[in-house]
Amino acid sequence: MGVAIKAEGLTKRFYQRGEVVAVDQLDLEVMEGEIFGFLGPNGAGKTTTIKMLLGLIFPDAGRAEVLGFPAGAQEMRRVVSYLPENPYFYDYLTGGELLDFYGRLFGLPSAERKKRVDQLLDLVGLRNDKAKQLKQYSKGMMQRVGIAQALINDPKMLIFDEPTSGLDPVAHIEIRNLIESLRDQGKTVFLSSHQLSDVELVCDRICILNFGKMVKAGSVGELTSQGRTEITAKGLSSDTREKLAKLAGSVVEREGAVVVTVTDEASLNTAVDMIRAASGVLISAIPLRRSLEEVFVETIGLAGPGRRIGTMNTLTQDRTA
């Protein structure tokens, strides 16, 4: 697997009633074929980073490569698609006309365009809405037609800026499934979001941005696992319980069963061996996880003073206030 995005020291400052370092010395590595979650509260610098990756604005320092091309290069634009945060489409067009229009922009010949438009409308579940004007589309339908539009040139990589913000739960699931199907086709997806639940379910790796700086990165599994496992067993003698208590420290009784919490793999194996050797009944061994939201609040909560801490969806940082 090659590297899809590589950024080093990417920095962008804005001057507006003082200086704002929107993106601060950001290093980023996204692998080909993965769904990468780019997380952070409002104002963290996500959109600014995306614009630099696309070459829509220029960094004050640092550099970025996308699919092996310098950010913003013509060759890069042919293989990367972008769905902005608030896409604007001429809403008197029908869904079919919109996609046809973008197909023309990319120079697809008429017959191919026709085929491609129908394929894409199928893919995003808008086949029956092809002839409806966009002004009759719901917000979820607009996002889906936006994704179809971004796919018209069969890009290798897609960059989505907050594709699920403002959508209802059903539309969320639809967009999520759609994004997963893109990965299944081998495409790289760079997904900016402040909706943690989406990201947790769909992303291979994530990074969390706050005040323009990366404050956490890793696979969702790594970030949410605590390395602790809760083992439940029955039919243990007091002798075995004592041994388990020595091993694990924490042994409690729950509904007639013994619950042991171990903190590493070696103790997990030893505990299971003890239970088996004592002819106990092993009921379950469950890894304990935190939600990504807990990880996020913990991370952002530690990052600076004077901030309201809540769930990420409600967390806002107005740095110009």
Ligand X SMILES: Nc1ncnc2c1ncn2[C@@H]1O[C@H](COP(=O)(O)OP(=O)(O)O)[C@@H](O)[C@H]1O
Return residues touching Mg ion (CB under 5 A). Answer: 46-47
Instruction: Say if residues 191 and 5 touch (Cβ distance below 8 Å).
Output: no
Number of residues that bind ligand X (CB under 6 A): 14
With contacts defined by CB under 6 A, name the span among 12-20, 73-81, 131-139, 225-233 that binds ligand X: 12-20
Stretch that binds ligand X, among 44-52, 246-254, 266-274, 278-286 (CB under 6 A): 44-52
Task: In angstroms, give the least distance from the CB of 183 to Mg ion.
Answer: 22
In the complex, minimum distance from the CB of residue 13 to ligand X, in angstroms, rounded to a whole number: 9
Residue of minimal CB distance from Mg ion? 47
Which of 40/103 has CB closer to ligand X? Answer: 40
Angle CA 310–315–317, to nearest 5: 135
Nearest distance from residue 34's CB to Mg ion, in Å? Answer: 21
Residue of 10, 28, 34, 48 that binds ligand X (CB under 6 A): 48
The angle subtended at Cα 21 by Cα 19 and Cα 25, nearest 5°, is: 150
Q: Are 180 and 15 in contact (CB under 8 A)?
A: no
Q: Which of 6, 9, 14, 282 binds ligand X (CB under 6 A)?
A: 14
Nearer to Mg ion, 24 or 129 (CB): 24
> Does 119 participate in binding ligand X (rule CB under 6 A)?
no
Q: How far is the CB of 313 from ligand X (least distance, A)?
A: 13
Residue 167: φ, ψ to 5°: -100, 155
If one counts every other C-beta atom within 10 angstroms of the C-beta of residue 215, the result is 17
47 is an interface residue for ligand X by CB under 6 A: yes
Q: Which is nearer to ligand X, 47 or 229 (CB)?
A: 47
Which residues are within 8 A (CB) of 291 and not within 5 positions of it... i.e. 6 or more apart?
A: 196, 200, 224
Helix (H) / strand (E) containing 50: helix 46-54
Does residue 45 bind ligand X (CB under 6 A)?
yes
Query: Cα–Cα distance between 90 and 191 in angstroms, integer?
Result: 25
How many other C-beta atoms lie within 10 A of the C-beta of residue 161?
21
**Is the separation of the CB atoms in 311 and 301 below 8 Å?**
no
Contact residues: ligand X, CB under 6 A = 14, 16, 20, 22, 40, 42-48, 319-320
